[in-house]
Amino acid sequence: MHRLDLINKLILKNNYKTYLEIGVSDGHTFDKILATNKIGVDPDCDVYKISWNGKGDVRCLTSDSFFEELDKDIKFDIIFIDGLHLSDQVFRDIKNSLLHLNENGIIVVHDCSPSQKENATTYNNYGIWNGTVYIGYIEASLTYKLDYSTVNTDFGCGLIRYKNIDLNSEKVNISDDWNYFNDNRESLLNLISVNEFENIYLK
Ligand SMILES: C[S@@+](CC[C@H](N)C(=O)[O-])C[C@H]1O[C@@H](n2cnc3c(N)ncnc32)[C@H](O)[C@@H]1O
């Protein structure tokens, strides 16, 4: 299942209206999202606005700047995190997203289950780059004791349900050793199949 289908199924099932996408690129996910109110954030928004003639509300900002400027009372039903693929950034994107998520809302994080070490680098390899998203995602989930599962599809789609987080929680760090992650992938990610996703989240 592609991330677009997964997100749209969650939107239809929960009657979600408001959507935030961090990292839009050319908008091939953003433009097909079924929510009525959509905001995108990408510092390189020219790719969407100029090259692809995108018409949606995509703001030319980093996710950090976007959240810094965002009124604290603005909340979204569903937030898709697919911006800078580095662990510390993903940790911050999850934390900031939880502060702007509605109570029945959900966060979807792309690239949580890289299949190969070569794609899980701290630099952009300009090929399939899953980066170190998985580290930031697992660390945020453990730090804030989140209700999370990772659908084993499209490089791993992490699902985080709303939780009122304690910002003073001491950060949990995990090893960045690839073999440790790969050997413990199922338990570290709470990995679930597409079938399980449909049974747990869509029924
Ligand atoms: C993998 S692409 C996004 C793909 C898109 N979400 C999709 O589903 O097709 C990652 C995007 O994140 C953007 N990005 C990089 N750093 C960012 C940051 N600090 N905040 C938000 N977006 C960022 C890049 O410019 C790039 O367009």
Q: How far is the CA of 55 from the centre of ligand 1 (A)?
A: 17
Q: Rounded distance, CA 47 to CA 192, Å?
A: 34
Are the CB atoms for 152 and 193 separated by under 8 Å?
yes
**Residues framing ligand 1 (Cβ under 6 A):** 3, 21-25, 28-29, 41-44, 62-63, 82-84
Q: Ligand 1: which of 4, 24, 51 to mutate, judged by most atoms within 8 Å of the beta carbon? A: 24
pTM for the full predicted model: 0.98
Residues in the chain: 203
Amino acid 125: pLDDT:
86
Amino acid 162: pLDDT:
98
Residue-wise pLDDT tens digits, 93-129: 999 999 999 999 999 999 999 999 999 999 998 899 9
Q: Is the pLDDT of residue 77 over 90?
A: yes
Q: Rounded distance, CA 134 to CA 182, Å?
A: 11
Amino acid 151: pLDDT:
98
Q: Is the pLDDT of residue 159 over 90?
A: yes
Q: How far is the CA of 203 from the centre of ligand 1 (A)?
A: 31
- By DSSP bridging, strand 157-161 and strand 148-151 are antiparallel
Q: Is the pLDDT of residue 197 over 90?
A: yes
Non-local (6+) Cβ contacts of 54 within 8 A are: 26, 27, 30, 31, 48
